[in-house]
Amino acid sequence: MIKTIMLGLVCALGVSTALAAQTVTNPVARFDDWSVFEVDNPEECFAVTAPRLTVNTRGGQEVQVRRSEILLFVFYRPSANTKGQIAFTGGYPFATGRSITLEVDNRSYDLSTKGEWAWPATPEDDAVIAAAMRRGAKATITGQSGRGTVTKDEFSLTGFTAAMADAERRCAS
């Protein structure tokens, strides 16, 4: 599963398939529920995790839906001066013009969306959310598809602090 996830991510980022295959199968570190990857020695470093629980509902009833990979990330890209960017891919196109909500231990944050991706509006928001994630036990992301399906994905934050620190160290500029 992680190979498929990373291959899709790395290809979406414009990295060669050969590099993608190498990166996908070899996380550089694992910290409990989080893995750390480097891309292009290291043009980009990130920590990533998949949800522990996913619930999809429509009209208040639980439904089965087809979603691609669901992942929560924190990115570091020295060449773009990106440090600790939080990002989420929900596995489906989000409803146009609607934000989604990331909740960390009962505190909510809005994420902007485009296509299947969501992220905080500013680097300052990234820092606030990352600080909450370092202190928290779980993160829950609630979104809505263009078809009206509401998704709720729960992520463990066990290992997040160590994974984020490791990704940052690997891509220190």
In tens digits, what is the pLDDT along the chain, a chain of 173 residues?
344 344 344 434 333 333 333 334 579 999 999 999 998 877 899 999 999 999 999 999 999 999 999 999 999 999 899 999 999 999 999 999 888 999 998 899 999 999 999 999 999 999 999 999 999 999 999 999 988 999 999 999 999 999 999 999 999 85
User: For the domain 2-170, what is the CATH superfamily, name and number?
Assistant: Invasion associated locus B (IalB) protein (2.60.40.1880)
CA distances to 53, 108, 124 from 160, rounded to whole Å, are 17, 18, 19
**Is residue 133 a contact partner of residue 160, using CB atoms and an 8 Å limit?**
yes
CA distances to 96, 104, 156 from 75, rounded to whole Å, are 24, 18, 18
Specify the pTM. 0.85
**Is residue 173 a contact partner of residue 78, using CB atoms and an 8 Å limit?**
yes
